[in-house]
Amino acid sequence: MTSSAPALSTDRTAGTRDRALTAARASILEIGATRTTMVEVARRSGVGRTTLYRHWPDITALFADLLTRELTAIVERVDPALPDSEPGDADELVRLLCTFADEVRTDPLLDAFRRHESEMLSEYVFHRLGTSQRRLIDVLRGLLSHAQATDPRLAGRDADRTATMLFLAIQGLVLSAPLADPPLDPATWRTELHLLIKGYLGL
């Protein structure tokens, strides 16, 4: 008879991490990222500080995992079938990208980080790609490959290079979106983003 202890242990660990991340998210939205500490997360989540430090060496590492979870949730909100769905053609791909970018632009947690944790975000914008960023590039690469199989307008494009370039462009546009309002109010921003992506893909 196979023991279920390892599975139970894994479930318990995942549950502990999820409780801590959920508490951190609530804290950031309520009192801000600067005042959200490991002590505060422990208090809100009921997870001991010693346990928290077994999962994350510091609050910045916890924030990084929280961002990954938030972006993954946004992808699933845009299309629950992602990243395994197959866009019918390039136009559908553009629609998905614009919808995702708009969801990220208006996400309250991402907005809080943009306003109060710009130094942490700059690490991932200017110095290295984080886990969530690499995961999003992988999703985008898969979507591009699916669209290429059905739409001859995308024939010959390198999916890896195109996915990376699109991600970097969209990331910069999303993070800087508030700086351009006006003249780019939210509706206009999305319209112009749609034109920009179509132009890059040669549609």
Answer yes or no: do 88 and 177 share one domain.
yes
Looking at the structure, do residues 38 and 82 belong to the same domain, yes or no? no
The listed range with the strongest mean pLDDT (8-12, 62-66, 132-136) is: 62-66
Q: CATH number of the domain at 116, please.
A: 1.10.357
Report how many domains make up the chain. Answer: 2
The range of the structural domain enclosing residue 22 comes to 1-56
Residue-wise pLDDT tens digits, 77-115: 877 555 555 667 899 889 989 998 999 888 999 888 877
CATH number at residue 28: 1.10.10.60
Based on the fold, state whether residues 27 and 123 are members of the same structural domain.
Answer: no
- For the segment 129-184, what is each residue's pLDDT rounded down to a tens digit? 677 788 888 888 988 988 888 899 998 999 999 999 999 899 888 888 888 888 98
| 120, 180: one domain | yes
DSSP conformation letters of 30-88: HH-STT--HHHHHHHH---HHHHHHH-SSHHHHHHHHHHHHHHHHHHHH-TTTTS---S
Alpha helices by DSSP H, listed for the chain, are 5-31, 38-45, 49-55, 59-78, 90-106, 108-116, 118-122, 131-150, 159-176, 186-201
pTM of the model: 0.78
Judgement on whether residues 44 and 63 belong to the same structural domain of the protein: no
- Give me the torsion for CA of 184, 74, 129, 65, rounded to 10°: 130
Same-domain check for residues 63 and 21:
no
Task: Tell me if residue 96 falls in helix, strand or coil.
Answer: helix
